[in-house]
């Protein structure tokens, strides 16, 4: 295998990450339908040691610090203990002059706590919002529908609190078979905050675990839903960010024409983004098969793990047949056979086309 040409991450100066993501804890206060994290194995109070995070950012990546550190759970704002831990982590990142983002469900992120987050340097919050219908919103979070209206009002209040604290908010839908009809309504909800500090995100579903495959929407419905959303956003007032889109440019070129307000985020996995679990395991991305870490920070440094991992190297150079000469592979949207986390999970290699595998999984469902 020829590993030449895998970019700046293999240069002697060490990896240049745009994003290093740390999972602070695995415990969560909701149970989203599509969650692939190991909530059942986690205990409240089990945190990623901050010394590991500090050592990685200061000693390991010190000469080439990342542009962003993202913090996530589980749920990083779920109780007093996790909120205090999150503030400590943010203060450390702030001291190092690195920008920070959290992923949160915002259910327990009160306006008062948002002000503390802002003081600790938080600039961006990615907040999950899979529907604007209170019952569907709560159901997709695994919550009881008896108090869904109350939960939705609390959520609204907390999103407003984040914005008032000066934190940029990305309200993010994870697209699955139950919310393809919700996209435009979420976009309009995001617009209704009337803020220049808010945007909408669409995260395409990634099958980290077996139980997630049946949740994929069928491609026709998914395509139509995204098309309608893109047309709505083009006439809208807030940005729309689309991540890990499984409707690849070679099959759906119409989706990718440049449009006002639309930002495509291609696959950064294995390239300039890395995910660290609360266990210290390092993964190619947060959606990677959790049985296949590249290594563990308790045993080796991030730079060593990154540079020595054969799986990462292979992920950057092996292309399925139909992607060989594709201009999108490392192009503007870095398609990279989106999503090769799915390919590796299903086949143990990087040779197959992701889209075909998702179609196969859908056919198995029929």
- Residue 256's SS3 state is helix
**Are 140 and 182 contacting, i.e. CB atoms less than 8 angstroms apart?**
no
Choose between 32 and 206: whose C-beta lies nearer to ligand SF4.
206
Which lies closer to ligand SF4 via its Cβ, residue 118 or residue 361? Answer: 361
Residues of span 180-219 touching ligand SF4 by CB under 6 A? 206
287 binds ligand SF4 (CB under 6 A): yes
Please pick, from the candidates 126, 183, 285, 305, the single residue that binds ligand SF4 as defined by CB under 6 A: 285
Query: Cα Rg for the chain, rounded, in angstroms?
Result: 20
Interaction mask 216-255, ligand SF4, x per CB under 6 A: ----------------------------x---xxx-----
- Contacts with 95 (C-beta within 8 Å, 6 or more apart), sequence order: none
Nearer to ligand SF4, 28 or 247 (CB): 247
The DSSP annotation for 280-309 comes to SEEESSTTS-TT--SEETTTS-HHHHHHH-
Minimum distance from CB of 143 to ligand SF4 (Å)? Answer: 25
Compute the least distance from the CB of residue 107 to ligand SF4, in Å: 24
CB of 274 to ligand SF4, least distance (A): 11
Among 52, 323, 357, 358, binds ligand SF4 (CB under 6 A): 323
Member of 340, 345, 350, 357 binding ligand SF4 (CB under 6 A) = 340
Exposure string for 288-327, b = 16+ CB within 10 A, e = fewer: bbbeebbbebeebbbeebbbebeebbbbbeebbeebeebe
Contact 187, 238 (CB under 8 A): yes
Nearest CB to ligand SF4, comparing residues 124 and 256 = 256
Q: Does 68 bind ligand SF4 (CB under 6 A)?
A: no
Q: Which of 48, 89, 129, 269 binds ligand SF4 (CB under 6 A)?
A: 269
Q: Cα dist. 271→81, 168, 206 in Å?
A: 34, 25, 18
Q: How far is the CB of 282 from ligand SF4 (least distance, A)?
A: 14
Rounded to 10 degrees, the C-alpha dihedral 184/186/187/192 comes to 130
3-class SS of residue 136: helix
Q: Which range binds ligand SF4 by CB under 6 A, 78-86, 183-191, 264-272, 298-306?
A: 264-272
Site membership for ligand SF4, residue 358 (CB under 6 A): no
């Amino acid at each position: 295998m020829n590993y030449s040409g895998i970019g700046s991450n293999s240069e002697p100066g060490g990896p240049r990450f745009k994003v290093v993501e740390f999972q602070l804890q695995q415990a969560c206060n909701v149970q989203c339908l599509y969650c692939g994290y190991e909530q059942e194995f986690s205990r409240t109070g089990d945190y990623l040691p901050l010394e590991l995070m500090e050592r990685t950012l200061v000693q390991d990546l010190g000469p080439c610090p990342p542009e962003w550190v993202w913090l996530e759970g589980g749920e990083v704002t779920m109780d007093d203990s996790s909120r205090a831990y999150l503030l400590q982590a943010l203060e450390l990142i702030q001291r190092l002059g690195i920008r920070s983002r959290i992923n949160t469900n915002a259910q327990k992120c009160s306006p008062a706590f948002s002000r503390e987050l802002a003081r600790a340097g938080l600039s961006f919050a990615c907040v999950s919002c899979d529907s604007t219908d209170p019952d569907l919103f709560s159901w997709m979070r695994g919550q009881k529908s008896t108090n869904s209206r109350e939960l939705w009002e609390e959520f609204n209040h907390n999103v407003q609190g984040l914005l008032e604290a000066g934190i940029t908010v990305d309200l993010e839908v994870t697209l699955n078979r139950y919310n393809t009809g919700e996209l435009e309504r979420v976009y309009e909800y995001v617009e209704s905050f009337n803020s220049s500090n808010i945007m909408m995100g669409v995260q395409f579903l990634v099958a980290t675990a077996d139980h997630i495959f049946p949740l994929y929407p069928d491609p026709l419905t998914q395509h139509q839903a995204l098309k309608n959303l893109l047309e709505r956003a083009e006439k809208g007032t807030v940005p729309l960010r689309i991540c890990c889109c499984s409707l690849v440019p070679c099959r759906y070129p119409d989706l990718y024409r440049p449009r006002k307000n639309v930002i495509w985020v291609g696959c950064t996995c294995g390239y300039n983004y890395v995910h660290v679990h609360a266990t210290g395991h390092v993964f190619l991305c947060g959606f990677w098969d959790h049985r296949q870490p590249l290594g563990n920070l308790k045993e080796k440094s991030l730079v060593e793990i990154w540079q020595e991992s054969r799986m990462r190297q292979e992920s950057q150079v092996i292309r399925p047949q139909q992607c060989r000469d594709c201009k999108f592979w490392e192009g503007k949207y870095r398609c990279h056979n989106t999503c090769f986390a799915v390919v590796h999970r299903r086949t143990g290699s990087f040779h197959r086309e992701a889209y075909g595998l998702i179609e196969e999984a859908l056919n198995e469902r029929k």
